[in-house]
Structure 1
Amino acid sequence: MEAMRQRIALEQQKKEAWERVYKAPKSCNIWRNDQHMVECQNAAMRAKREFEQRWAAGELSQPGA
């Protein structure tokens, strides 16, 4: 049960870190066309992939850890 609580807490910390790190460009708030949507989504996926790598490497702050 404690391991589950710790996992949930870590996932919450990770989610909060992602929200602090990633801010979509203002130009992606409203997609102009399908191509623009794809570009915005691809940029977000690249940023998420980089975030995941940095998180796994311990490069990002993990409050309470």
Structure 2
Amino acid sequence: MTYIYNDSSNQLKKVQDYSFRPSGLNQPCSENTAYTYDANGNMITDENKDNANIDYNHLNLPKRIEFET
């Protein structure tokens, strides 16, 4: 597996899995950036998990993770 991070931070940008049977990773991701973040650095979307949307509470803790089916 190859982990690609944003140039100016430690935020994950993309994961590449070159195994013959990747488990749990929808690849290749159609986007150049598989993960997006809010202003607080919280991951808010994950394109590798069927467009997961993540909401956070006032303490920046995950409140809800929603997957498209």
Q: Check whether TM > 0.5.
A: no
Structure with higher Rg: it is 1
Q: What is the TM-score with the length of structure 1 in the denominator?
A: 0.26
Which one has a larger percent strand, Structure 1 or Structure 2?
2
Which is bigger in relative contact order (C-alpha 8 A, separation at least 6)? 1
